[in-house]
């Protein structure tokens, strides 16, 4: 089974017995296009597409007829036309997307499986045999010598490796006919385009199969037990289920059968965890997970039980589930039933390195998991992450890794790939190029994404391609030289975007624009330059300049109307989303307020120079320790991202997604910040220089009953991208100083490191120290005022957050709560007791 699929997937062009015969498109000018009356809508459309493309390529509109004799020269399109052609025919049935092209001296026969094979055959004919390239929705490239190209006689058969191919860009969903040209089979139901594959993306749905509103009251035990409570509400779409509850199998079977009734053509029905990590910890679930050494244990046992029952009436339907975050590691003993499909998600992976690159610490663990799943399941679908979810328009260095990663999926039982990118945006960073590269690699895994990108640039940017190619090479080499591992949630620093690199990127695009000769090429280069402008806007706000009580971005290297230029490009090319959640319009508003000058307070004594921005959550944007002139506040990222801030976790108040303005009163070496929340509570903060310490105090006074819970979110510069715990030490008092990170945790990803220090809150001190650069930061606090410490450390970002969560309290009217802590600069690492 496996072998035959692989053989079919090969592209074969074999010469016929006739030997060296061939044709050229130029010799087909007198031919007819034949498509039978009985052809499907998609096959008829395929015939008109053949006609249209031939006219654009060769200048001649060939007549479209229902029957013709091959002796006069004809192109037969669709199985019915091919069968009636009198040409040698191969009656073996083809899969729904497989295509067959037979070329003889006086006939071209293109047919394929239904519903999409024939249409794909037409595109394959132009692409593979005539050198045509479907570059963008409005640019198809025809080689100047297309009419004279030699097309050897023979048979070409293609059966795609992946049955599910989704290059997730606004460019494909907005232009489904273009998506069909790229053979993306997931965006349109239009019968003309052959509809979409019956396989559906595995997406979070267990809380929709078992709605808490319907079942929660009578059966709270159906839902996950988290921290001792049956959770009926949870972020990420809803609660997880208690997967070991035997009664629940019947409930989910009913829901699945209902789904099948509603979606009779669906090849798979999802039973997939919600988007949170609140899995069930009840004794039964925990026992299965412990035995299986993975939280996939309880989930998979449950999905198997449902699959066993659904199989009786619907053996052809797959039950699909995630291997995502807490279920990513395959279980030790349980094997998915043959009608269970797994969709493995790479959210923790590094995008710069290919998935199977052994030099990448983030990707090694994923490969081990995929290897494990491959051993126990034939149907592996992949959800791969290909963009910067925190900056859709910023440069992203994954053009070298896309091809090898897709090939790796194909070689490891991958049957479908969702390449998640800026799907809810448009005109994002080089989106035309990326969409082309991804779709071509999905259609034929094994293609080299870098070569595909080079080809796109040469054909699309024409005379301007040189500087754009030079930029791509230089930028990928730059990221390589830094040894960083950017994931799909990177910051500018993990993408190596700095004032210096942004200036250089802008230079490449300026050079490219200067070379453009036609209006069309100029427009394409301007569209591509969006990423250079976006990088410049970020970089110019990394280090703010201060004058007359306000802070401004540093535009010394750019034109003073940089933001207006960027806004105009966004408007012109319809770039609507700055990141996955943030509309461009909102981002531009935020940046406009900064470019107009934001009120800033500078504090200074002999040790410290601080800059506080009251109007932007009271964030601290500079903390320079004057004796060493080191700014420990995290700087290498755009202003719209957070810094040293404090966020209200319950009720109204400043948060990362709720930027509020404080009133500010400045005293010598102190700023007092205050604001009133929507429910009338008074939030007061004080930031003061006290000798060599920076003292932070926060107090909230309730006007109506409300909870009190605040997250202190200080981001510091580590001045190192090393994950080595000998270089970057993290320390807590417990009750004496101890190092919280060691060799065994050094390679762990940020999420897994958070729990390391959580409970060390009792010691009242928290610190990091860079042993190479010989500096660090200590936070001292009153442990009675805090409930937990939180660590966020991402070496790629050159960043560490020593986060602290306040005690959680319920305040009555007039009651207040608060806390204080101090930040000190360390010249020596905390002393450990032996
Ligand atoms: Zn349970
Ligand atoms: Zn990496």
Q: Which ligand is nearest to the CA of 363?
A: 2
Q: How far is the CA of 695 from the centre of ligand 2 (A)?
A: 38
Task: Say which residue, 499 or 657, is predicted with more confidence.
Answer: 499
Q: Which ligand is nearest to the CA of 494?
A: 2
Tell whether the model's pLDDT for residue 500 goes beyond 90: yes
Q: How many Å apart are CA 286 and CA 814, to the nearest integer?
A: 44
Q: How many Å apart are CA 721 and CA 636, to the nearest integer?
A: 13
Stretch among 129-133, 725-729, 823-827 having the lowest mean pLDDT:
725-729
Q: How far is the CA of 279 from the centre of ligand 1 (A)?
A: 8
691: left (phi over 0), alpha (psi -120 to 50) or beta: left
Question: DSSP per residue over 358-390, as a string?
Answer: TT-HHHHHHHHHHHHHHHH-S-EEEEEE-S-TT
Please report which confidence band the pLDDT of residue 20 belongs to, taking 50, 70 and 90 as the band edges: low
Tell whether the model's pLDDT for residue 203 goes beyond 90: yes
607-613 long-range contacts, CB within 8 A, separation 24+? 607/689, 607/691, 607/692, 607/825, 608/689, 608/692, 608/694, 610/687, 610/689, 610/694, 611/544, 611/546, 611/551, 612/664, 612/671, 612/673, 612/687, 613/551
Q: Which ligand is nearest to the CA of 225?
A: 1
Please report which confidence band the pLDDT of residue 744 belongs to, taking 50, 70 and 90 as the band edges: low
pLDDT digits (tens, 9 = 90+) for 633-660: 976 788 888 789 999 999 999 998 899 9
Q: How many Å apart are CA 701 and CA 703, to the nearest integer?
A: 7
Q: How far is the CA of 309 from the centre of ligand 1 (A)?
A: 21
Q: How far is the CA of 281 from the centre of ligand 1 (A)?
A: 6
382: left (phi over 0), alpha (psi -120 to 50) or beta: beta
pLDDT (mean) for 400-414 = 97
* pLDDT value of position 29: 96
The tokens describing 581, both together, are 């959640």
* pLDDT value of position 740: 86
Q: How far is the CA of 477 from the centre of ligand 2 (A)?
A: 13
Q: Which ligand is nearest to the CA of 285?
A: 1
CB 698 within 8 A of CB 710: yes
Q: How far is the CA of 286 from the centre of ligand 1 (A)?
A: 7
Q: Which ligand is nearest to the CA of 357?
A: 2
Q: How far is the CA of 365 from the centre of ligand 2 (A)?
A: 12
Q: How far is the CA of 707 from the centre of ligand 1 (A)?
A: 30
pLDDT digits (tens, 9 = 90+) for 577-605: 999 999 999 999 999 999 999 999 999 99
Q: How far is the CA of 362 from the centre of ligand 2 (A)?
A: 6
CB 132 within 8 A of CB 57: yes
Q: How far is the CA of 580 from the centre of ligand 2 (A)?
A: 22
Q: Which helix (H) or strand (E) holds 407?
A: helix 402-410
* pLDDT value of position 5: 33
Q: How far is the CA of 298 from the centre of ligand 1 (A)?
A: 8
Helix residue ranges, H only, 92-238: 117-124, 130, 170-174, 176-181, 206-209, 212-215
Please report which confidence band the pLDDT of residue 8 belongs to, taking 50, 70 and 90 as the band edges: very low
Please report which confidence band the pLDDT of residue 4 belongs to, taking 50, 70 and 90 as the band edges: very low
What Cα–Cα distance (Å) separates residue 19 from each residue in 16, 103, 714, 737? 6, 12, 73, 81
Tell whether the model's pLDDT for residue 749 goes beyond 60: no
Q: How far is the CA of 221 from the centre of ligand 1 (A)?
A: 8
CB 475 within 8 A of CB 397: yes
Count of Cβ atoms closer than 10 Å to residue 758 Cβ: 15
Q: Which ligand is nearest to the CA of 749?
A: 2
CB 107 within 8 A of CB 173: no
Q: How far is the CA of 713 from the centre of ligand 2 (A)?
A: 27
Tell whether the model's pLDDT for residue 167 goes beyond 50: yes
Measured distance between the N- and C-terminal CA atoms of the chain, rounded to whole angstroms: 62
Strand partners of residue 12: 157
Q: Which ligand is nearest to the CA of 298?
A: 1
Q: Which residue has the tokens 């654009």?
A: 56
SS3 letters for 749-788?
CHHHHHHHCCCHHHHCEEEEEECCCCEEEEEEECHHHEEE
Q: How far is the CA of 336 from the centre of ligand 1 (A)?
A: 19
Q: Which ligand is nearest to the CA of 358?
A: 2
pLDDT digits (tens, 9 = 90+) for 766-792: 999 999 999 999 999 999 999 999 998
Q: Which ligand is nearest to the CA of 490?
A: 2
Quote the radius of gyration of the chain (alpha carbons, Å): 30
Q: How many Å apart are CA 322 and CA 317, to the nearest integer?
A: 16
Q: Which ligand is nearest to the CA of 239?
A: 1
Q: How many Å apart are CA 356 and CA 485, to the nearest integer?
A: 14
Q: How far is the CA of 370 from the centre of ligand 1 (A)?
A: 26
Q: How many Å apart are CA 134 and CA 436, to the nearest integer?
A: 8
DSSP secondary-structure letter at 539? Answer: H
Q: Which ligand is nearest to the CA of 398?
A: 2
pLDDT (mean) for 284-294 = 97
Q: Which ligand is nearest to the CA of 479?
A: 2
pLDDT (mean) for 545-562 = 94
Q: Which ligand is nearest to the CA of 365?
A: 2
Q: How far is the CA of 366 from the centre of ligand 2 (A)?
A: 12
* pLDDT value of position 714: 95
Which residues, by Cβ under 5 Å, contact ligand 2, an ion? 350, 353, 360, 485
Q: How far is the CA of 283 from the centre of ligand 1 (A)?
A: 7
The tokens describing 757, both together, are 């220090």
Please report which confidence band the pLDDT of residue 834 belongs to, taking 50, 70 and 90 as the band edges: low
Q: How far is the CA of 769 from the centre of ligand 2 (A)?
A: 24
243: left (phi over 0), alpha (psi -120 to 50) or beta: alpha
- The torsion angles phi and psi of 225, rounded to 5 degrees, stand at -90, 115
* pLDDT value of position 685: 98
Q: How many Å apart are CA 604 and CA 161, to the nearest integer?
A: 64
Cβ partners under 8 Å of residue 368, min gap 6 = none
Tell whether the model's pLDDT for residue 230 goes beyond 50: yes
With H, G, I as helix, E, B as strand and everything else as coil, classify residue 22: strand
* pLDDT value of position 759: 78
Q: How far is the CA of 230 from the centre of ligand 1 (A)?
A: 9
With H, G, I as helix, E, B as strand and everything else as coil, classify residue 416: strand
DSSP secondary-structure letter at 523? Answer: H
Q: Which ligand is nearest to the CA of 245?
A: 1
pLDDT digits (tens, 9 = 90+) for 819-828: 999 999 999 9
Question: DSSP per residue over 290-305, as a string?
Answer: HHHTSTHHHHHHHHHH
Above pLDDT 70, what percent of the chain? 96
Stretch among 84-98, 219-233, 620-634, 690-704 having the lowest mean pLDDT:
84-98
Question: DSSP per residue over 137-164, as a string?
Answer: TTEEE--TTGGG--EESEEEEE--S-SE
Stretch among 129-143, 519-533, 657-671, 733-747 having the lowest mean pLDDT:
733-747
Q: How far is the CA of 299 from the centre of ligand 1 (A)?
A: 10
Q: Which ligand is nearest to the CA of 301?
A: 1
Which among 137, 140, 255, 260 has a CA at the least distance from the CA of 187?
Answer: 137
Q: How far is the CA of 240 from the centre of ligand 1 (A)?
A: 9
Characterize the bridge pairing of strands 268-270 and 318-323: parallel
Q: How far is the CA of 360 from the centre of ligand 2 (A)?
A: 4
The tokens describing 788, both together, are 């937990």
The tokens describing 763, both together, are 């010691």
Q: How far is the CA of 763 from the centre of ligand 1 (A)?
A: 35
Which among 129, 36, 37, 150 has a CA at the least distance from the CA of 83?
Answer: 36
The tokens describing 191, both together, are 């019968």
Q: Which ligand is nearest to the CA of 297?
A: 1
Q: Which ligand is nearest to the CA of 723?
A: 2
Strand partners of residue 765: 780
Cβ partners under 8 Å of residue 627, min gap 6 = 607
DSSP secondary-structure letter at 26? Answer: G
The tokens describing 217, both together, are 């009251």
Q: How far is the CA of 233 from the centre of ligand 1 (A)?
A: 16
Q: How many Å apart are CA 405 and CA 409, to the nearest integer?
A: 6
Q: Which helix (H) or strand (E) holds 388?
A: none
CB 188 within 8 A of CB 174: no
For the chain, counts of helices (H) and of strands (E): 23, 42
Strand partners of residue 646: 712
The tokens describing 625, both together, are 């320790």
* Torsion angle defined by CA atoms of residues 112, 128, 447 and 46, in that order, rounded to the nearest 10 degrees: -40
Please report which confidence band the pLDDT of residue 745 belongs to, taking 50, 70 and 90 as the band edges: low
* Torsion angle defined by CA atoms of residues 510, 511, 516 and 519, in that order, rounded to the nearest 10 degrees: 0
Which among 566, 540, 806, 568 has a CA at the least distance from the CA of 697?
Answer: 806
Tell whether the model's pLDDT for residue 430 goes beyond 50: yes
Please report which confidence band the pLDDT of residue 747 belongs to, taking 50, 70 and 90 as the band edges: very low
Count of Cβ atoms closer than 10 Å to residue 218 Cβ: 8
Q: How many Å apart are CA 357 and CA 365, to the nearest integer?
A: 11
Tell whether the model's pLDDT for residue 200 goes beyond 70: yes
Q: Which residue has the tokens 């035995």?
A: 291
Q: How far is the CA of 598 from the centre of ligand 2 (A)?
A: 37
Q: How far is the CA of 214 from the centre of ligand 1 (A)?
A: 19
Please report which confidence band the pLDDT of residue 387 belongs to, taking 50, 70 and 90 as the band edges: very high
Q: Which ligand is nearest to the CA of 484?
A: 2
Stretch among 88-97, 346-355, 475-484, 490-499 having the lowest mean pLDDT:
88-97
Q: How far is the CA of 273 from the centre of ligand 1 (A)?
A: 13
* pLDDT value of position 742: 73
Count of Cβ atoms closer than 10 Å to residue 138 Cβ: 10
Which among 92, 111, 114, 94 has a CA at the least distance from the CA of 102?
Answer: 111
Q: Which ligand is nearest to the CA of 286?
A: 1
pLDDT, averaged across the chain:
93
470-478 long-range contacts, CB within 8 A, separation 24+? 470/508, 471/505, 471/508, 471/509, 471/512, 472/399, 474/504, 474/508, 475/395, 475/397, 475/501, 475/505, 476/352, 476/397, 476/399, 476/400
Q: Which ligand is nearest to the CA of 244?
A: 1
Sign for the CA dihedral angle at 222, 224, 228, 231 comes to: negative
Please report which confidence band the pLDDT of residue 16 belongs to, taking 50, 70 and 90 as the band edges: very low
Q: How far is the CA of 719 from the centre of ligand 1 (A)?
A: 44
């Amino acid at each position: 089974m496996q072998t035959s699929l692989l053989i079919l997937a090969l592209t074969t062009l074999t010469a016929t017995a006739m030997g060296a015969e061939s044709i050229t498109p130029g010799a087909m000018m007198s031919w007819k296009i034949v498509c039978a009356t009985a052809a499907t809508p998609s096959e008829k459309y395929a015939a008109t597409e053949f006609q249209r493309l031939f006219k654009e390529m060769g200048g001649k509109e060939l007549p479209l007829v229902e029957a013709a004799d091959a002796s006069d020269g004809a192109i037969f399109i669709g199985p019915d036309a091919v069968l009636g052609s009198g040409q040698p025919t191969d009656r073996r049935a083809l899969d729904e997307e497989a295509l067959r092209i037979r070329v003889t001296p006086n006939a071209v026969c293109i047919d394929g499986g239904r519903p999409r094979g024939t249409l794909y055959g037409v595109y394959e004919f132009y692409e593979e045999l005539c050198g045509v390239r479907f570059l963008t929705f409005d640019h198809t490239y025809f080689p100047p010598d297309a009419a004279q190209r030699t097309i050897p006689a023979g048979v070409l058969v293609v059966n795609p490796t992946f049955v599910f191919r989704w290059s997730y860009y606004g460019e494909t969903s907005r232009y489904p006919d273009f998506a069909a040209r790229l053979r993306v089979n997931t965006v349109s139901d239009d019968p003309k385009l052959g509809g979409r594959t019956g396989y559906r993306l595995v997406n979070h749905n267990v809380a929709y199969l078992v709605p808490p509103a319907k079942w929660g009251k009578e059966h709270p035990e159906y839902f996950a037990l988290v921290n001792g409570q049956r959770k009926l509400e949870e972020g990420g779409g809803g609660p997880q289920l208690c997967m070991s509850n035997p009664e629940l199998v019947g409930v989910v079977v009913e829901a699945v059968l209902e789904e099948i009734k509603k979606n009779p053509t669906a090849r798979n029905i999802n039973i997939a965890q919600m988007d949170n990590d609140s899995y069930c910890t009840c004794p039964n679930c925990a026992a299965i997970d412990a035995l299986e050494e993975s939280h996939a244990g309880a989930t998979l046992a449950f999905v198997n039980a449902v699959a066993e029952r659904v199989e009786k009436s619907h053996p052809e339907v797959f039950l699909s589930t995630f291997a995502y975050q807490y279920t990513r590691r395959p279980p030790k003993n349980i094997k998915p039933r043959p009608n269970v499909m797994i969709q493995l998600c790479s959210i923790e992976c590094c995008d710069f390195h290919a998935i199977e690159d052994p030099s990448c610490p983030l990707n090694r663990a994923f490969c081990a998991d995929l290897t494990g799943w491959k051993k126990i399941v034939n149907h592996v679908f992949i959800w791969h992450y290909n963009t910067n979810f925190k900056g859709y328009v910023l440069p992203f260095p994954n053009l070298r890794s896309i091809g090898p990663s897709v090939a790796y999926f194909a070689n490891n039982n991958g049957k479908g790939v969702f390449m998640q990118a800026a799907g809810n945006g448009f005109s994002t960073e080089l989106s035309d190029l990326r969409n082309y590269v991804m779709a071509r690699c999905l259609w034929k895994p094994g293609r080299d994404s870098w070569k595909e990108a080079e080809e796109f640039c040469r054909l699309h940017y024409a005379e301007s391609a040189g500087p754009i190619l030079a930029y791509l090479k230089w930028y990928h080499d730059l990221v390589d030289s830094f040894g960083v591992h950017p994931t799909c949630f990177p910051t500018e620093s993990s993408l190596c975007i700095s004032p210096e690199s942004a200036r250089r990127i802008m230079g490449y695009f300026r050079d490219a624009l200067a070379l453009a000769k036609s209006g069309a090429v100029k427009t394409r280069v301007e569209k591509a330059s969006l990423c250079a402008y976006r990088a410049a806007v970020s970089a110019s706000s990394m280090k703010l300049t201060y004058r007359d009580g306000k802070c401004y971005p540093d535009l010394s290297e750019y034109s003073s109307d940089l933001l207006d230029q960027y806004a105009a490009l966004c408007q012109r090319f319809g770039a609507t989303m700055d990141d996955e959640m943030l509309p461009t319009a909102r981002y531009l508003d935020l940046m406009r307020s900064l470019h107009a000058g934001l009120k800033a307070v500078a504090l200074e004594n002999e040790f410290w120079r601080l800059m506080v921005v009251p109007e932007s959550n009271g964030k601290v944007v500079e903390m320079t320790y004057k004796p060493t002139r080191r700014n420990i506040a995290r700087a290498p990222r755009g202003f719209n991202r957070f810094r040293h801030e404090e966020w209200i976790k319950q009720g109204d108040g400043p948060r990362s997604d709720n930027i509020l303005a404080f009133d500010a009163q400045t005293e010598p070496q102190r700023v007092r910040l205050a604001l009133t929340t929507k429910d009338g509570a008074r939030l007061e903060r004080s930031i003061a220089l006290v000798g060599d310490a920076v003292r932070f105090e926060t107090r909230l006074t309730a006007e109506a009953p409300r909870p009190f819970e605040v997250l202190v979110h200080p981001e510091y510069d580590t001045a190192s991208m090393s994950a080595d715990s000998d270089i970057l030490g993290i320390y807590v008092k417990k009750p004496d100083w101890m190092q919280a990170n060691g060799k065994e945790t050094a390679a762990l990803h940020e999420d897994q490191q958070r729990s390391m220090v959580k409970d060390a809150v009792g010691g009242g001190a928290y610190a990091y120290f860079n042993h190479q650069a010989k500096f660090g930061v200590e936070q001292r606090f009153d442990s009675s005022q805090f409930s937990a410490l939180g660590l966020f450390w991402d070496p790629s970002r050159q960043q560490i957050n020593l986060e602290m969560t306040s005690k959680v309290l319920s305040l009555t009217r007039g009651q207040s709560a608060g806390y204080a802590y101090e930040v000190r600069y360390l010249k020596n690492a905390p002393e450990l007791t032996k």
